[in-house]
Amino acid sequence: MLSEDKYFQDLTEAKLWQRYCGFLDLSIDEFMDIQEELLMDQIERVSDSLLGKKIMNNRKPKSVEEFRRIVPLTTYDDYEPYLSERQEDALTIKPHSWCHSSGKGGRFKWFPSSREYIDKAVKCSLACLILASCNHKGEVNVSPGFRALVVAPPPPYASGSIFQAVTERISFHHMPHPQDTENLGMRDSLRLGFQEALKEGVDAIFSLASILVKMGEELSGQARTVKLSPAMLHPAILSRLVKAWLRARREKRPILPKDLWSTKAIMTSGLDTAIYKDDIAHYWGNQPYEFYACAESFYIAAQTWNRKWMVFFPDLLFLEFIPQGAHAEPDNEASTVLLDELEEGKSYEVVITHLYGLPLLRYRMKDIIKVVALKDVETGINLPHIVFQRRVGETIDLAGLTQLDEKTIWQAIANTEIQYTDWIAHKEYEGSQTYLHLYLELKGKQGDKDSVRIAAMVDEQLKLIDTDYKDIDAYLKLLPVRVTLLSPSTFQKYTDEKVREGAELAHLKPTHINPPQPVIERILQLSEAGREKH
């Protein structure tokens, strides 16, 4: 029996809820007491390590206030080369494992984890699973043996690493099993996972939101022309397909994934979750559950059972926040506030300090969150509720009047109801005037859609979403949005090209906001080549 299995066997439903989701009952004062106690323990642990001495300048703070006063804000550069070269002698503890970020510019960021820390992170994973599968406080609708379709890169990517840790602590059916996909690409791994899911059924799905939508589209299309291969002739698969066909025929529509599987939980993270949540519900039958995760710490915050906003975990990290706005400072002298000092409606950059002897101290995440409420009357949770907004620097500034981030532009495109494959956006100039240049690949034949009309539609939606953008055309004296339509399959060709070059998973697609000029030029070349063939 694995370590977490025994709790599901021995504890009542109420005690299981308390073990995994009891943090939601904390008052703000109780939350801060936990934070302070764990930070002081962390200082005690790391103060004699090589990295601890380097970051704290050979000092040992005696209080939270002194820690925030004398320890500078840090970035990954402050931990070079110790972490990138995995120099374990610089750390307080010998890591149980190492994982890395998705990476940018071909450079991974490596982070160690201790067994104690991983145990805490697995509890967060199970808290998310319980919350994602319930509708009311106190419900626990999952147990060991649950069947999970997992769409994530393998270890040492952080997402693969946490799933590996979960498999070592609670019994569940991981589809596809990592051992079966060691030599397979993402597409073949997905195919294997779906084959297993058709046979075994699915309780939970873990994936990026955009991938879930794409999978839903593809599965719906494939279901119309499904061919029964020998592997499909298993009685469980045939039964599932027949039931799905009958339901779809009764409702006079194509077969959708929700006809094949009745899932308890759909868990996802990323900016696109809010944008694609209705599409996910359409294809998969459930609203997605969102959590805020990263390579540095695995988890930071997660939604509650009503799936509205996210709440921070109290015992995985010590949390600070840099207020955003006119007085925010970009360097390591920027002032921070604590969780009990957050203000409703304001945005903050997240700063984390590792606990349990791990090395990051006052580390700038470069993530911007917005506090949408200091408590939620509906759930009775008396802690700040947040949404993830964007990464620092990932905005398009138009004439200093507005800053458009990825989520805003993405939402504006989605609100036009134009069917598209993908997009990138870049800040460009006409003389001294700036504008947003959107490179957009449409889906299928949409002959009535031209670039000028689409630009006007996106502009209209931006005015509805972003109050600072509303009057910008009066200042710029030109349409702030320009659109270039790309030929079909342009983004797929770009991805295929990157796969052939051996690029890492995180670099197969261009970034949405301000990709480098060579990337834009290559996208345009591929688009033009596609037009010439047609």
User: Where do the structural domains in the chain lie, given as residue ranges?
Assistant: 5-96+309-376, 118-289, 395-533
Q: What pLDDT does residue 327 have?
A: 44
Percent of the residues in the chain that have a pLDDT greater than 70, as a whole number:
90
Q: What is the dihedral of CA 428, 434, 440, 445, to 10 degrees?
A: -130
Q: Please tell me whether residue 111 adopts helix, strand or coil conformation.
A: strand
Bridge-based pairing state of the strands 317-323 and 347-354: antiparallel
Report pLDDT digits (tens) over 29-85: 999 999 999 999 999 999 999 999 999 999 999 999 999 999 999 999 999 999 999
Mean pLDDT rounded to a whole number for the chain:
88
Report pLDDT digits (tens) over 268-315: 987 778 878 888 999 999 999 999 998 999 999 999 999 999 999 999
Report pLDDT digits (tens) over 370-405: 999 999 999 999 999 999 988 787 788 776 677 788
The residue whose two tokens read 């805003």 is: 408
From the number of C-beta atoms within 10 Å of its C-beta (0-12, 13-18, 19+), residue 417 rates as: exposed
- Kindly tell me if the per-residue pLDDT of 507 is higher than 70: no
Q: For residues 43 and 60, is the Cβ–Cβ distance under 8 A?
A: yes
- Kindly tell me if the per-residue pLDDT of 216 is higher than 90: no
Sorted by sequence, the CB contacts under 8 Å of residue 243 that are 6+ apart come out as: 259
From the number of C-beta atoms within 10 Å of its C-beta (0-12, 13-18, 19+), residue 363 rates as: buried
Q: What pLDDT does residue 375 have?
A: 96
Percent of the residues in the chain that have a pLDDT greater than 90, as a whole number:
54
Label residue 241 by pLDDT band (50, 70, 90). confident
Report pLDDT digits (tens) over 440-461: 999 877 655 788 899 999 989 9
The residue whose two tokens read 């015992």 is: 315
CATH class of 118-289: alpha beta
**Strand (E) or helix (H) holding 230:** none
Phi, psi (rounded to 5 degrees) for 489: 70, 10
What's domain 395-533's superfamily in CATH? Answer: ANL, C-terminal domain (3.30.300.30)
Q: What pLDDT does residue 509 have?
A: 80
